[in-house]
Amino acid sequence: MEKTGQPTINDVARVAGVSKKTVSRVINRSPLLNEDTRRRVEEVIGDLGYIPNPQARALALGRNFLIGLVHDNPNAQTVMNVQQGMLEAVYDTEFEMVVRPLNRGSATMLQDLRHFLERQRLFGVLLMPPISENDAIAQICTDIGCRYVRMGSAELDTDDHMVASNDRDAVREATKYLIAEGHRRIGLIAGPHGFRSARERRLGFEDALRDAGIALPRSMIADGNYQFDSGLVAADRLLDLVPRPTAIFSCNDEMAAGVIHAACQRGLSVPRDLSVIGFDDTPIAAHMWPPLTTVRWPIATMARSAALKLIAGVTEQTSDDQVREPSLFRSTLIRRGSVSSPAAD
């Protein structure tokens, strides 16, 4: 079929012998069509070279086909993992992703976020921790009619507005593993203050020690900020103790890498002299030596599910036919080479 000019949706409808609404349903991958009609319209779209105009559709519908990722997270790998999951969800759809970092310590954070959402006219937004833990942010999304999903280490909202992991339970099990290996002097490198994930992981650690009747002196807890350097500094403080810990649980892998580095600087062997467990199961965990025992946080899977929640129902599917995306995800212990029984005193 000869192409002339810039084809429109009207041209497609006329040549295919269907209505504009039918063409729109084909474009939106609606299931409310028989296969013969879908195939005929798709062939005409291909023959004419028609390309749907997302800007025109956004203007007609009063919304953009954009989903946002809003974060204030110090760990770049975590943000990248979330982006990966979201991009998997919107692949081969009309949706694109935009990323907006915020400063949660700014006095104008809420105004900045509202301005961003209104200016971009986002279809929906994924809120990463610790931003997601702020109820005022969720309320802003509700007020301006922007879909939202909150990601967290505990349940923060209703199922439609949340993806959460079981951090407290997962860390309890990881710490129990250290105890079962014979460790009694176990240090903790905690996450940054104000992060729900840091709180949940510390609570899981404390649960396990309390259940085993093991005291936790304040000296065995060092603060970190989820970055390598803070793990290095925190590990030095713990390893200066006399007697020093025989194992350290770090609230993320970046800091755990700092622990192993600090141990090596002192001539300590991991795991012979010091066992180490992290959290996240980022690529660094399997690539360091020894490979890091860690808690696998299914963050990319959580992000994918969150993005699918945001775009659910866009293609005219009925809610009864949709498979509801899960809201709760299990973190699991991955045993590698950084844990063994403690050396005899």
Residue ranges of alpha helices (H) inside 133-166 are: 135-144
Whether the pLDDT of residue 127 is over 90: the answer is yes
Whether the pLDDT of residue 139 is over 90: the answer is yes
> Given pLDDT bands bounded at 50, 70 and 90, which one contains residue 56?
low
Please, is 344 exposed, middle or buried when counting C-beta atoms within 10 Å of its C-beta (0-12, 13-18, 19+)?
Answer: exposed
- 295 vs 115, residue with greater confidence: 295
Which among 213, 206, 191, 258 is positioned nearest to 231, based on CA atoms?
Answer: 258
In this predicted structure, what is the pLDDT of residue 120?
A: 83
pLDDT tens-digit series, residues 249-269: 999 999 999 999 999 999 999
In this predicted structure, what is the pLDDT of residue 5?
A: 65
Assigned token pair, 87: 């991009």
Cis, bond preceding 291 (omega within 30 deg of 0): no
CA distances from 155 to 144, 158, 161, 167, 269 (A): 23, 8, 10, 11, 39
In this predicted structure, what is the pLDDT of residue 10?
A: 84
- Domains belonging to the chain, first-starting first, are 61-165+299-329 (3.40.50.2300), 167-296 (3.40.50.2300)
Assigned token pair, 321: 């036919």
Mean pLDDT for the stretch of residues 234-258: 97
Whether the pLDDT of residue 104 is over 60: the answer is yes
In this predicted structure, what is the pLDDT of residue 62?
A: 54
| pTM, two decimal places | 0.79
Whether the pLDDT of residue 315 is over 50: the answer is no
Report for 14-18, 19-23, 123-127, 313-317: range of highest mean pLDDT: 123-127
User: For residue 14, what are the contacts with CB-CB under 8 A and spacing of at least 6?
Assistant: none
Whether the pLDDT of residue 31 is over 70: the answer is no
Assigned token pair, 320: 């009864």
In this predicted structure, what is the pLDDT of residue 321?
A: 42
pLDDT tens-digit series, residues 78-100: 889 999 999 999 887 878 889 99
Instruction: Please state, for a pLDDT cut of 90, what percent of the chain lies above it.
Output: 60
Q: Please count the other Cβ atoms lying within 10 Å of the Cβ belonging to residue 15.
A: 18
> What gap in Å lies between CA 256 and CA 251, rounded to an integer?
8
In this predicted structure, what is the pLDDT of residue 316?
A: 45
Using the CB atoms, write b or e for 200-233: b if 16+ within 10 Å.
Answer: bbbbbbbbbbeeeeeeeeeebbbbbbbbbebbbb
Whether the pLDDT of residue 59 is over 70: the answer is no
pLDDT tens-digit series, residues 168-177: 999 999 999 9
Q: What is the dihedral of CA 79, 82, 88, 91, to 10 degrees?
A: -60
Which among 161, 182, 159, 211 is positioned nearest to 326, based on CA atoms?
Answer: 159
